[in-house]
Structures are given as structure tokens and as C-alpha cells.
Amino acid sequence: MKFPKIKKSIGYGVLGLVGVLGVILIISATQKNSSKRCKGLQINIANNTEQYLVTKDDIEKTITRFGNEPVEGKIIENIDLSKIEKRVLESGYAKKCEAYTNLQGQLVVDIEPYKPIARVLDGYNHEDYYLDEDGEFFPTSKHFSQTVMILNGDFFRKTKNLKSEKNKELLEFIKYLTEDEFWEAQITQVNINANREINLIPLLGQQIIEFGKVNKYQSKLNKLMVFYEKILPEKEWSQFSKISLKYDSQIVCN
């Protein structure tokens, strides 16, 4: 009658032993991992063969503070991954950054670089900077100068980005110009003053194009296309110094 109880006790004992062994193994693995050292740095840049603005060397210097804070040989547990990500993002080199360690004991940093659609020329003794399709501003590169549309004007003096709802249509307008084959080739510069009034500088012709506010921009561009297709073929380009699209249903040429 007592055998079942003995078997039950043995079963509990085995389970307890397994549990203890499991805890010991976990503690052992934790201690082992806590002393494991980083075997190197692996940097992956998305679309690296298609972009020239940022290099792996740029990212490595940012992560290691120009070699003063090397990660190789450092205890992995002591590497602050979020701090590394923040450092890379604050450098302006990357739009997105993810840092982690792999099974080989390396620190891996995945980078998504910015893609410029326009360049802002700063006329106030500050450095120029780029604009990306999401409305972010980011620094120019020491390695390469991207050929993109030029933006300038007092509007940009106090503008940190074009991500707000207020600037949504303006960003859409700039993207529209850069994505349309004809306008991307013909419009080389967009000037925006403090009152958000826009002037366009074309590649062909000496005319300044008074665009006005950004609202109804597609309608205004359609009017400008009418000018190029129907008016200019009958006139000489030099006859016009200014084209105004500011007024509804009108093209005013001077």
C-alpha cells in the first residue's frame, strides 16, 4: 500500500533535481555570456551600392568615437546598444539604425541611409543640407555631392523640417517636381520667401516664374505647361523676363 507513495516521492525528487540542474545551467550560461567579449564590428548599409553619401568608415568612427571607444574586446553585456543607435542617428548619417549582437559574438549595426530629393542652400554662413522624401533635413556628405533640385530662401531660416501638417502640401509639391520627368529636368531651383511665396528658376529660359503660394500647385503647373507648349513656340524666349502663375486661370507674362 505504501509503494505508490514512494514512487510519488521519487517522482517529486527527480523533478526537483531537474529543476535545480536547470537553474544551475541557466546561471552558468549567464555567467559565461556575461564574460563573453565582442569579436568585432559588422556594419551593414542598406542599398550600399546605390548610395555614396555615407560609408562604413563614417559609421565606425561615430560608434567608436574615432577609435577612442573601441567595441572589439569589450564585454558584450556592457555594450549599450540603445546608446550606439542614438549616437549614429544623432550624427545625421542614418535615417534608421538598429544595433544587436550575433551568435559569432560580433556587434552588428544595420543602417538605412537618407535619400536626398533636394538640397537647401543656406545663404547665412551656415552649411547646406539635404531634404529627404519624408521631410527630414540631414547633413551633406564629405564624400559625394548628389545632383538634386536646389531649394533656398528665408523660409528655411526657421524651418527644422517639412514633416508638419502645415508643410505637408509644400513637401508634396517638391516631391512632385522631383518625380515628374519634365519638371525634374526643367526646374532647377525653388525659392521660398518668409511669406511662403514661391519663385521657380528654370533650366531653359531666363524667366523667373512667380508661382505664388503652394496651393493648387498642379493647376499652376498645368498653366505653365500651356505656356511652354503654346506660347513659347510662337515667341522668342528672350521676350519674357517674368511669368506669373499667381492668378487663377491666368498666365501673366512680362
- Cβ–Cβ under 8 Å, residues 207 and 238: no
pLDDT number for residue 78? 94
At which of 69, 88, 113 does a domain end?
Answer: 113
pLDDT number for residue 252? 86
Does some domain include residue 185?
yes
- Cβ–Cβ under 8 Å, residues 88 and 62: yes
- The three cell numbers of residue 84 are 550606439
Same domain, 129 and 210: yes
pLDDT in tens, 124-154: 767 899 999 999 999 999 999 999 999 999 9
pLDDT number for residue 247? 83
Where do runs of H (alpha helix) occur along the chain?
3-34, 56-63, 81-91, 168-179, 181-186, 217-226
Residue of 16 and 203 predicted with greater confidence: 203
Same domain, 102 and 120: no
Same domain, 108 and 130: no
| Burial (CB count within 10 angstroms: exposed 0-12, middle 13-18, buried 19+), residue 233 | exposed
Does some domain include residue 29?
no
How far apart (Å, rounded) are the C-alpha atoms in residues 10 and 104? 42
Same domain, 130 and 68: no
Does some domain include residue 204?
yes
Q: Is the pLDDT of residue 32 over 60?
A: no
pLDDT in tens, 172-188: 999 999 999 999 999 99
Does some domain include residue 160?
yes
Q: To the nearest whole percent, how much of the chain has pLDDT over 90?
A: 69
- Cβ–Cβ under 8 Å, residues 148 and 179: no
* Residue 45: domain span: 41-113
pLDDT in tens, 216-232: 999 999 999 988 888 77
DSSP result, 119-169: EEPPSSSS--EEEETTS-EEE--SS-----EEEESGGGGG---S-SGGGHH
Does some domain include residue 54?
yes
The Cα-based distances of 38 to 110, 128, 203, 207 in angstroms read: 17, 38, 54, 61
Region 48-74: mean pLDDT is 94
Tell how far CA 87 is from the center of its chain. Answer: 15
Q: To the nearest whole percent, how much of the chain has pLDDT over 70?
A: 83
Same domain, 63 and 126: no
Q: Is the pLDDT of residue 53 over 80?
A: yes
The total of structural domains in the chain comes to 2
Same domain, 136 and 185: yes
Among candidate residues 121, 92, 8, 97, the one with its CA nearest the CA of residue 44? 97
pLDDT bracket for residue 238 (50, 70, 90): low
pLDDT number for residue 122? 79
pLDDT bracket for residue 22 (50, 70, 90): low
CATH number at residue 91: 3.10.20.310
Indicate the average pLDDT of the chain.
Answer: 87
Same domain, 146 and 63: no
At which of 93, 113, 133 does a domain end?
Answer: 113
Same domain, 87 and 146: no
Q: Is the pLDDT of residue 9 over 70?
A: no
Same domain, 125 and 208: yes
pLDDT bracket for residue 30 (50, 70, 90): very low
CATH number at residue 184: 3.40.50.11690
End-to-end CA distance of the chain: 114
How far apart (Å, rounded) are the C-alpha atoms in residues 223 and 212? 13
Does some domain include residue 239?
no
Burial 236-251 (b: 16+ CB within 10 A, else e): eeeebeebbbeeeeee
- The three cell numbers of residue 198 are 514661391
Does some domain include residue 227?
no
Same domain, 98 and 189: no
Same domain, 130 and 201: yes
At which of 87, 113, 139 does a domain end?
Answer: 113
Q: Is the pLDDT of residue 103 over 80?
A: yes
Among candidate residues 233, 234, 226, the one with its CA nearest the CA of residue 252? 226
Does some domain include residue 231?
no
Same domain, 60 and 134: no
pLDDT number for residue 29? 46
